[in-house]
Amino acid sequence: MKKNRLIPVILLKNGWIVQSKNFSQYQNLGNPVTIVKRLSQWASDELIYLDISDDDNYDTRRDDQGYANRGDFLSVIEDVSKEAFMPITVGGKIRTIKDIENRLSVGADKVCLNTMAIQDPSFINEASREFGSQCIVISIDVKLTSKKYNVFATGGSKKTKFSPKELSKIVEDNGAGEILINSIDKDGKGDGFDLTLINQITDCVSIPVIACGGAGEWSHFSEVFEKTDAEAVAAANIFHYVDQSVFLAKKHLYDNGFNVRKPDLIKIDNYRI
- Nearest to other proteins of 5, 240 (CB atom): 5
Site track for other proteins across 32-71, x = CB under 8 A? --------x--x-x--------------------------
- Where do runs of H (alpha helix) occur along the chain? 32-41, 73-81, 97-105, 115-119, 122-131, 164-173, 195-204, 218-227, 237-241, 245-255
Alpha-carbon distance values, 95 to 57, 144, 170, 224 (Å): 18, 27, 18, 32
Shortest CB 122 distance to other proteins, Å:
21
Interaction between residue 173 and other proteins (CB under 8 A)? no
Pairing of strands 148-153, 158-159: antiparallel
Among 86, 195, 242, 248, binds other proteins (CB under 8 A): 86
Q: Give the integer Cα–Cα distance in Å for 15 and 6.
A: 25
Shortest CB 217 distance to other proteins, Å:
24
Q: Which of residues 104-123 bind other proteins (CB under 8 A)?
A: 104-107, 109
Shortest CB 141 distance to other proteins, Å:
22
Among 74, 76, 197, 207, binds other proteins (CB under 8 A): 207
Q: Give the integer Cα–Cα distance in Å for 101 and 88.
A: 14
Task: Please tell me the chain's helix, strand, coil percentages from 3-state DSSP, rounded to the nearest 5.
Answer: 35, 25, 40
- Nearest to other proteins of 84, 238 (CB atom): 84
Which listed range, 20-28, 51-59, 195-203, 258-266, lies at the site for other proteins (CB under 8 A)? 258-266
Interaction between residue 128 and other proteins (CB under 8 A)? no
- ∠ Cα 135 138 144 (to 5°): 165
Q: Give the integer Cα–Cα distance in Å for 162 and 152.
A: 8
Site track for other proteins across 3-22, x = CB under 8 A? x-x-----------------
- Which residues sit at the interface with other proteins, rule CB under 8 A? 1-3, 5, 40, 43, 45, 81-82, 85-87, 104-107, 109, 131-134, 177-178, 206-208, 231-232, 261-262, 264, 266, 271-273
